[in-house]
């Protein structure tokens, strides 16, 4: 039986977003320990239904929260805020299994570079969140484990690959959580679960560990949140820890700008038009932007025609590399026979088309120049589009147990907009600006030129104020 699940109540976290929690801790209204205790209780309340947690680290989180520095006013934009790290990023003492039974559950010997950067904002890490195997799917479903469910309706997908993070943030269990994005994996679950999801510019924050081995670095770390200001606070805190080399400074964006933008409207993707509800959500947002004084013009896709095939091939290359070199990349006892059907299908797909690799890599690398040239030719500041090809599907629609290649074709149709920004490295952002007839959130996408997260955040603040995001607790 489908139902909505959330954990909002009158405890120390209340209805507060992450900035609100940090302010309450700094003001002495609550302590960091009380915030973590409330988050533990909330996770335990919803986890039996949502399945968003891989492993908890509650005792260590309480210990960290109890240190004198945890309640200090200085030293982090998100001081004392409980959070989770995705299961593909190392946290000292916790296993990193990448959502796969093929990777042994051995505790990490150190924090990943991004985990260190995340901790610098003052958050308290409470454990690891779920993801589909190696992040290859757009739903957090598994062959042999229960799926991660959408708290807005538990019959539906929470998106992926940061599906556990999105489910637990949307349900109110934690105010924000780590996510990362190699083909839409911040923005897709944000769209499915009614959250703000910003994929930063390539190299804006610390790289994922696997980036060094990729011919094209498509992965960006970030967070999923319930408010624009939480995303802005995270980015400001991350930037204070590590200034991005070669990119303009963003700073702490605290509200909209008076600057009026020229917005490029993009409806259709390389796989075709979106469904009617998604199209209506984007057109409604375009109308809202015009009412706010911005200029909206239609634009062509800022991408070459063969991009879809190139990215699908690269996707397959990553799966093949996982299968073939898993012992080197992940763990000496990696078991390739234990990977799920999607990973195996993609790896086999690569072997049949390996000769296409040089052209595919060239196309993806060229996408950065094409994207920038088309932005310049249209004279636009930001682009407006769908996040996904259709509204959030029910569980099972793109499960790894669906027969191939039917499942993969469904996946390509669904994830038809977001991969561009991973290949070209530009920032992209999902905002929960509409609701489907089934009562599920619909995300709308904004993207900008490299290094221009400030413009995205300013526009997002203005849209959030003009059309407040639906709240699951209402």
Looking at the annotation, which residues are catalytic?
A: 86, 161, 185
C-beta separation of 433 from 469 below 8 A: yes
Chain position carrying tokens 């809202």: 288
For 294, which DSSP code?
-
Q: Radius of gyration (Cα) for the chain, nearest Å?
A: 20
| Host H or E run for residue 56 | strand 53-56
How many residues does the structure list for the chain? Answer: 474
Q: Rounded CA gap, 308 and 186, in Å?
A: 20
**Beta strands in 259-318, from DSSP E residues, in sequence order:** 262-265, 295-298
Burial per residue of 362-401, b for 16 or more beta-carbon CB atoms within 10 angstroms, e otherwise: ebbebbbebbeebbeebebbbbbbbbbbbbbbebebbbbe
- Helices 341-352, 406-414: crossing angle, 10 deg rounding: 90
Task: Rounding to the nearest 10 degrees, give the CA dihedral for residues 440, 423, 85, 196.
Answer: -40
Tell me 341's DSSP state: H
Distance CA 218, CA 79 (A): 30
Give the Å distances, CA to CA, from 135 to 369, 430, 456.
27, 18, 25
Taking the CB of residue 281, how many other CB atoms lie within 10 A of it?
25
């Amino acid at each position: 039986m489908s139902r909505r699940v959330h954990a909002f109540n009158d405890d120390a976290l209340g209805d507060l977003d992450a900035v609100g929690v940090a302010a309450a801790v700094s003001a002495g209204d609550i302590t960091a320990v009380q915030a973590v205790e409330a988050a533990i209780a909330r996770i335990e309340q919803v986890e039996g239904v949502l399945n968003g947690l891989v492993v908890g680290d509650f005792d260590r989180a309480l210990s960290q929260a109890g240190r004198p520095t945890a309640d200090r006013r200085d030293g982090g934009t998100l001081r004392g805020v409980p959070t989770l790290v995705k299961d593909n990023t190392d946290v000292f003492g916790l296993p990193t299994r990448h959502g796969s039974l093929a990777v042994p559950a051995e505790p990490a010997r150190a924090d990943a570079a991004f985990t260190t950067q995340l901790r610098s904002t003052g958050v308290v890490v409470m454990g690891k969140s779920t993801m589909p195997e190696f992040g290859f799917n757009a739903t957090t479903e598994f062959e042999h484990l229960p799926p991660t469910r959408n708290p807005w309706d538990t019959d539906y997908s929470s998106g992926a690959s940061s599906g556990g993070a999105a489910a637990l943030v949307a349900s109110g269990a934690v105010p924000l959580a780590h996510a990362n994005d190699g083909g839409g994996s911040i923005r897709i679950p944000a769209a499915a679960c009614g959250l703000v999801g910003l994929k930063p510019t390539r190299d804006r924050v610390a790289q994922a560990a696997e980036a060094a081995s990729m011919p094209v670095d498509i992965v960006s770390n970030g967070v999923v949140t319930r408010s624009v200001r939480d995303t802005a606070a995270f980015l400001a805190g991350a930037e204070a820890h590590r200034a991005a080399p070669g990119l303009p400074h963003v700073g702490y964006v605290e509200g909209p700008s008076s600057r009026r933008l020229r917005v490029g409207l993009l409806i259709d993707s390389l796989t075709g038009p979106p469904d009617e509800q998604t199209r209506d959500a984007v057109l409604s947002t375009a109308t809202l932007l015009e009412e706010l004084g911005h200029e909206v013009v239609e634009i062509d896709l800022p991408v070459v025609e063969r991009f879809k095939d190139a990215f699908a091939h690269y996707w397959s290359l990553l799966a093949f590399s996982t299968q073939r070199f898993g012992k080197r990349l992940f763990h000496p006892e990696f078991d390739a026979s234990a990977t799920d059907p999607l990973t195996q299908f993609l790896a086999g797909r690569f072997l049949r088309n390996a000769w296409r690799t040089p052209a595919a890599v060239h196309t993806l690398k060229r996408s950065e120049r094409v994207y920038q040239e088309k932005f310049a030719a249209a004279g636009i500041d930001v682009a407006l589009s769908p996040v996904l090809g259709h509204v959030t599907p029910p569980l099972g629609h793109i499960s790894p147990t669906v027969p191939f290649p039917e499942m993969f074709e469904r996946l390509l149709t669904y994830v038809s907009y977001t991969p561009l920004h991973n290949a070209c490295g530009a920032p992209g952002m999902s905002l929960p600006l509409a609701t489907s007839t089934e009562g599920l959130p619909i995300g709308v996408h904004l993207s900008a030129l490299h290094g221009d997260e400030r413009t995205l955040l300013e526009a997002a603040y203005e849209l959030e104020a003009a059309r407040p995001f639906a709240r699951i607790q209402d």
